[in-house]
Structure 1
Amino acid sequence: MNLFEAIGKQMQYPQGLFGKILFAWMTRNTIAHARWTLSLMDIKPDDHIIEIGFGNGANIELLLQRAPGGTVTGVEISQTAIEMASKKNAAAISRGKVQLHLAAGDALPFAADVFDKACTVATAYVIADPGAVFREMYRVLKPGGRAAVTFPVRENFMKFKPVRATGFYLHPLADLQQAFRDAGFVHSRTERNDAVRFGANCMLGEKAVVK
């Protein structure tokens, strides 16, 4: 296995020491994406929020700062991420403000209509079927709940050499937008930020309210 293949495998299932190094690198390069995403989500102090693919848990801290009266639930497929985020958010976990789950984004272990907000940052390009994740995000949101999906600008990200690794799915923006709408999200729109590394797109939408 060459270096690029190893990176690609770790991007999908980060684990062990290499996974910890990768999470640290990813956080440095995407924390600005996360902060920008939070600014677009209209988070309320009592919101119950779910983050899919939380990495080392740095964004969980930011989410809880915006919803001090609510809760943050994190979902990850990496046991290494669970361990890192548990340590980083130990105090909030002990207070029942944060819960972490080892699960896939396309099979969330929650009932429907339980969260006010949902987000995922820098995960879209390592998911073979992002539409399945979007459908699950939609399902677990309350009617009127809002979702945010942020990922690097494809054309910029493709210039990054490790993207040659197997394990990346560089979905075109139009395909991601269509999958997001097909999941059911209404009032959907895409914001762009060229001030962060690689640039970033953020798809925003709401779960329809049945009258």
Structure 2
Amino acid sequence: MSALTDKELAEQLRCPSGNQVSEFGNKMYQSNFNMIDKTIDLLNSKENSTILELGFGNGNHIIKLFEKYRIDNYYGLEISEAMINEASKLNMKLIEERKLKLNRIENDTINLKSNTFDYCFSINTIYFWNDLSNYFEQFYNVLKNEGELFLTFIQKESAEKQSFTQYNFNLYTETEIIELLQKANFKHIEPFHFEENAVSKNGTEMQRKFTIIKAKK
């Protein structure tokens, strides 16, 4: 995979595209593997649940969800058409069984029915949302009563050390996110903190801190 400038890397992380998208999707998955793994474990899905994920990337982790939990349906939204194609190829059996639906999100709108999902989650995507409050309100709307939202993100102090985040990344502190979740009427908000040695998206080794916030409707 050819080297990318920081600006090009930031653009690819926001919306992967191009003839190297398959390789890039795999690199994203590898870099995010621990964050994905920890989020799936914390999800602790009840039996026959319905799940919404925003920003599933190449979908390499989706099969683990179905293997770990007895899920009825998974609905994925993604901004990148290329990633939808990659995830569809990797999870064709689940699509054929009508347990999995993958669609493109447009105009920052989660265009789904109210009170539909037991769980919603998103990993390493909040930096690209135009309006956090808007997304939190939409998540609240599509969750069932007592449904849970999980947000996973690199802590601001760690993200700022990566040069590509100066380009079109919106970085937030944990406190800022919690306050916006409270304004969206979420309750029982609980942060979980982690630290890991990881390979950054630009290929450099780094120690980074990340947070998973759990919030209930």
Q: TM-score, normalised by structure 1?
A: 0.90
CA contact (8 A) 2:48 2:70 kept: yes
C-alpha distance in structure 1 between counterparts of 2:32 and 2:16, whole Å = 16
Which letter does structure 2 place at the counterpart of 1:81?
A: M
1:41 CA drift (Å): 1.8
Identify the residue that residue 212 of structure 2 maps to in structure 1. 202
- Greater Cα shift, 59-68 or 75-84: 59-68
CA contact (8 A) 1:105 1:133 kept: no
Deviations 1:52-79 (A, max 9, x none): 0000002322222233341111000110
SS at match of 2:27: helix
Which letter does structure 2 place at the counterpart of 1:188?
A: I
CA contact (8 A) 1:14 1:20 kept: no
C-alpha distance in structure 1 between counterparts of 2:30 and 2:107, whole Å = 23
- Greater Cα shift, 29-38 or 172-181: 172-181
Alignment match of 1:120 (pick from 108, 119, 122): 122
C-alpha distance in structure 2 between counterparts of 1:9 and 1:127, whole Å = 13
C-alpha distance in structure 1 between counterparts of 2:84 and 2:26, whole Å = 14
Identify the residue that residue 8 of structure 1 maps to in structure 2. 10
- The reply on whether 1:182 has 2:192 as its aligned counterpart is no
Q: More strand per residue: 1 or 2?
A: 2
SS at match of 1:54: coil
1:69–1:24 Cα change, 3 Å:
closer
- The reply on whether 1:142 has 2:152 as its aligned counterpart is no
Q: How does 1:81-96 map to 2 (within 5 A)?
A: 81-96=83-98
| Alignment RMSD (CA, Å) | 1.8
C-alpha distance in structure 1 between counterparts of 2:107 and 2:195, whole Å = 27
Deviations 1:24-59 (A, max 9, x none): 222111121111012212211311000000000023
Sequence identity, in percent?
Answer: 24
Identify the residue that residue 63 of structure 1 maps to in structure 2. 65
C-alpha distance in structure 2 between counterparts of 1:183 and 1:17, whole Å = 40
SS at match of 1:17: coil
Identify the residue that residue 202 of structure 2 maps to in structure 1. none
Structure 1 gap segments, 5+ residues each: none
1:44–1:196 Cα change, 3 Å:
farther
Identify the residue that residue 155 of structure 1 maps to in structure 2. 157
Identify the residue that residue 109 of structure 1 maps to in structure 2. 111
Identify the residue that residue 99 of structure 1 maps to in structure 2. 101
Deviations 1:59-100 (A, max 9, x none): 322222233341111000110010000001011110011110
Flag as ranges the 4+ runs of structure 1 deviating above 6 A: none
C-alpha distance in structure 2 between counterparts of 1:186 and 1:69, whole Å = 24
1:195 CA drift (Å): 3.3
